[in-house]
Amino acid sequence: MADFHFIRPWWLLAIIALFFALKLLKKYRLSQSGWQQLLPKHLASVLVDKQDSLQKLSLTFPFIIGLLAIVALAGPTWKKLPQPVYQIARGSVLIMDMSYSMYATDIAPNRLTRSRYKAIDLLEQLNEGGIGLIAYAGDAFTISPLTDDINNIKLLLPSLSPELMPELGSNPLAALTLAHDMLVNAGHSKGDIYWFTDGIDNYDIQDITDWSRSNNHRLNILGIGTSAGAPIKLNNGELMKNNSGSIIVPKLSISALKGAAKRGSGYYATLANNNSDIEALLRQPSDVEDQQQKESSNTGDQWQEAGPYLLFFVLALLLPYFRRGRLLAIVPLILLMAPVDKSYAQSTTLPSTIKPNAVLTKESVPDKQVTDNFWKNLWQTKDQQGQQQFNNEAFEQAATSFEDSFWQGSSYYRSGNYEQALKAFQRQDTAEALYNQGNSLAQLKRIDEAIKAYEQALLKDPQHQDAKANKAYLEELKKQQEQQQENQEQNNEENNDKNQEQQEQNKQENQ
């Protein structure tokens, strides 16, 4: 209870108004009786004073009701609510093994067909950050760059087959390197790679280990096949044989794949008949869970209000006043509870059916909407209304409701309005606000400003790991862009020199 305070302490001034209102009510009752003028003074002093003491007792309940209502409106609180921190969404890349061993029939109808179905299951559960598709055999190829259009990737999966690969063999390192480049070029210093394969050769293990150590991506592997293996049945119905004429029986190398996933900070799962394998791949690693727990412990200035609970006591005390002739005593309380800051007949609060830029007039709002807005503003703060809209994913409406600039920025960020998110985050000077300023600037492609924002966040919180990672990534991206620009300028100069030489040569030939 050390943090106990009132969210709207100015409402406590209404206690003074409550005293005056009850005093006026007392005078009104005395003037209505008229006994002071009709009775002799010696009788009035006894009878009227006795009646006055009874009136004082009868006004005790209205006073208690009014006091509880005022305290509820003042917003007593002592508990903070968590404040979210949003990061740039992680990208994902799906790598599909297209070597001929995927035609093995140890799982029906074959490994390739089952891997396609599992790929669709995975795509349906990946819903943020974009996903790309890579296929490999002797070399690796980009089938689809990172995209939010999952349906487009689903359409591409059935066409993938070993026959389409121009080079036979199995080169997983080429696929992993291509996946890294795809993620970095799309702006993801950390990404998730989902590798569907039936095994790796021993000489590839060290290369994959070195690759895992050199980047921050998570490598999740789905093993396709069984340890017993089965022959490779080609499309013409024949079984694949080696140079000596023996039938090839590829087996799933579970231990090697498990080791590769572990070194890649990810998970391994063997293809299953249910969805347990995909769920295993999508688990959050322990370091991510620890970071999420750390973020969830960060609290801001959003407080959980206890005022509404007092209203239950108010309602219970009001029950006797619903008897005929006694509602007049609570009229002053109703007047005190009326809104004083704006006229709700011409409210500018935007309902969900009105566009954000619309002007809401009295004629365009039905009476029920006016009443709803009145009660919402009476019993809920703007931040509480915004929180409810935020939880319902009505982020644009939540942004207009929130008074807390951090929550407002979070709402704009979730809605994709990064300009407004930036303005909201700039109204605070905390490490998390500066970090989110950097994220907003990065989304707006304002790289230099984003780097400065991350630097300022690190000055306030040197241990902010996400700010460090995003800053390092943007600095690397900036170097690449500068290098590309230099190469482009150099190529332009060389082309200009060649054109001039060609023009001079043409002139000489014409002469």
- Weakest-pLDDT range from 77-81, 133-137, 182-186, 432-436: 77-81
Q: What pLDDT score was predicted for residue 266?
A: 94
Integer angstrom CA distances of residue 400 from 99, 372, 381, 439:
54, 17, 13, 21
Read off the pTM: 0.46
Most confident region among 55-59, 233-237, 320-324, 497-501 by mean pLDDT: 233-237
Q: What pLDDT score was predicted for residue 300?
A: 47
Question: Dihedral angle at the C-alpha atoms of 421, 422, 428, 429, nearest 10 degrees?
Answer: 140
Q: Give, rounded to a whole angstrom, the gap between the first and last alpha carbons of the chain.
A: 98
Q: How confident is the model at residue 366 (pLDDT cuts 50, 70, 90)?
A: very low
The CATH homologous superfamily to which domain 91-294 belongs is von Willebrand factor, type A domain (3.40.50.410)
Q: What percent of the chain has pLDDT over 70?
A: 74
Instruction: Identify which has the larger pLDDT, 227 or 488.
Output: 227
Q: What pLDDT score was predicted for residue 346?
A: 31
Task: Tell me the per-residue pLDDT of 251-304, one tens digit each, with 9 for 90 and over.
Answer: 998 999 999 999 999 999 999 999 999 999 998 765 444 444 444 444 445 677
Count of Cβ atoms closer than 10 Å to residue 55 Cβ: 14
* Residue 11, pLDDT above cutoff 70: yes
Tokens of 306: 């206890």
Q: What percent of the chain has pLDDT over 90?
A: 34
Q: What pLDDT score was predicted for residue 296?
A: 44
Q: How confident is the model at residue 92 (pLDDT cuts 50, 70, 90)?
A: very high
Q: What pLDDT score was predicted for residue 352?
A: 30
Instruction: Identify which has the larger pLDDT, 163 or 359.
Output: 163
Mean pLDDT of 142-161: 89
The residues spanned by each domain of the chain are 5-83+301-338, 91-294
Q: What pLDDT score was predicted for residue 471?
A: 87
For strand 91-97 and strand 131-136, is the pairing parallel, antiparallel, or unpaired? parallel
